[in-house]
Amino acid sequence: LHQVQRAGNLDDPEVAALFDAGDPDRIFEDLRAIGHGSFGAVYFARNRESKESVAIKKMSFMGKQSMEKWQDILKEIRFLWDLHHPNIIEYKGCYLKEQTAWLVTEYCIGSASDILHVHKQSGLREPEISSICSGVLLALDHLHSLGRIHRDVKAGNILLSESGSVKLADFGSASLHCPAQSFVGTPYWMAPELILAMEEGHYDGKVDVWSLGITSIELAEGKPPYFSMNAMSALYHIPQNESPSLDPRGGRVWSPQFRHFVQTCLLKKPEERPTSKQLLTSHPFISGGSRASISPSQILLELISRTKSAVRELDDNLNCKKMKRILLTDD
């Protein structure tokens, strides 16, 4: 006898156990849209009782391919629910209502990409990039030691908390197993071996190290390499060309440590590229040469306050919601 599979079906006790009981509309209040994704929208909200601020990612599994959407939602919850790490977004629960899953996590003030957007003219400063990369590497080292791969490391998936911590987020593309083989992620940030995996076999956590190298360029220069091309062309050029590097004609002066960090993250052969642990424990860009004795959270708190003043000063006509939300919890 076979069971009929249906999106939203909670007959399987393993699936039912992933969801919390109760009506999320009664548990949370003051919902305000703060982000958009492939699945729907992300909201700021408060827990009605505790008044705690949270983020809610509403993921609908209605309409076309509802079973695939449902499986993706279950995958993301299974990935997040048992992760506890200071640099990984904290999972707070998941609710089901009207063909939509409400994935609740701790609230952050915005992504590194949102912050970058505010400083479009100047880009981020080297100590800020070093602090962000340090936090991401702590998160990646934890994931990789569990045999997991994030597969979508980029500024848009790196969040900053009000207290200046880095929080890796968005586990919608992540793999619970290593090695992996599927083609997932965002083209411009994809490692060459991941792009070629369909033909040439498997890849491991080193794909996240490559994406972090691309993210460092993104944070320094505002966008990843090949961003002016369409995604298909980028996918062709990444495995075909020499590795990208920080633009020497960019008008910025970067330290040799930063240039080396980018270069080593972007070694095309994964066996030559360092692991997240090796970078964390022994790369001078990460151990803090450029940050002197200032802690990453102190540097990021200053970045946040610099960003908030920039947003306040922006002309209202030019202003967009994306930037305003950085001030959301300010009164």
DSSP 8-state secondary structure symbol assigned to residue 325 = G
Binding of ligand ADP by 175 (CB under 6 A): no
Alpha-carbon gap, residue 15 to 54, rounded angstroms: 24
| Residue among 24, 93, 127, 156 that touches ligand ADP (CB under 6 A) | 156
Q: Do you know the residue count of the chain?
A: 331
- In the bound state with Mg ion, the residue whose beta carbon lies nearer, of 170 and 204, is 170
DSSP 8-state secondary structure symbol assigned to residue 60 = E
Choose the catalytic residue: 152, 170, 204, 208. 152
Phi/psi at 149 (5° precision): -130, 135
Cα dist. 31→27, 140, 172, 179 in Å? 11, 31, 22, 39
As measured in angstroms, the least distance from the Cβ of 100 to ligand ADP is 14
Do 112 and 160 contact (CB within 8 A), yes or no?
A: yes
As measured in angstroms, the least distance from the Cβ of 142 to ligand ADP is 18
Binding of ligand ADP by 172 (CB under 6 A): yes
As measured in angstroms, the least distance from the Cβ of 73 to ligand ADP is 11
Stretch that binds ligand ADP, among 18-26, 29-37, 207-215, 240-248 (CB under 6 A): 29-37
Give the DSSP H/E element, type plus range, for residue 94.
Answer: strand 91-97
As measured in angstroms, the least distance from the Cβ of 77 to ligand ADP is 13
Phi/psi at 245 (5° precision): -145, 175
Stretch that binds ligand ADP, among 6-14, 35-43, 286-294, 311-319 (CB under 6 A): 35-43
Q: Of residues 132-161, which lie at the interface with Mg ion (CB under 5 A)?
A: 157
Stretch that binds ligand ADP, among 5-13, 33-41, 199-207, 253-261 (CB under 6 A): 33-41
Of ligand ADP, Mg ion, none, which one does residue 111 interact with (CB within 5 to 8 Å by kind)? ligand ADP
Scanning the chain, the segments in alpha helix (DSSP H) are: 13-16, 24-27, 66-80, 112-118, 126-145, 192-195, 197-200, 206-221, 231-240, 256-265, 276-282, 284-287, 296-313, 321-324
Question: Footprint of ligand ADP on this chain (CB under 6 A)?
Answer: 34-35, 37-39, 42, 55, 57, 89, 105, 107-108, 110-111, 114, 156-157, 159, 169-170, 172
Q: Which residues are catalytic?
A: 152
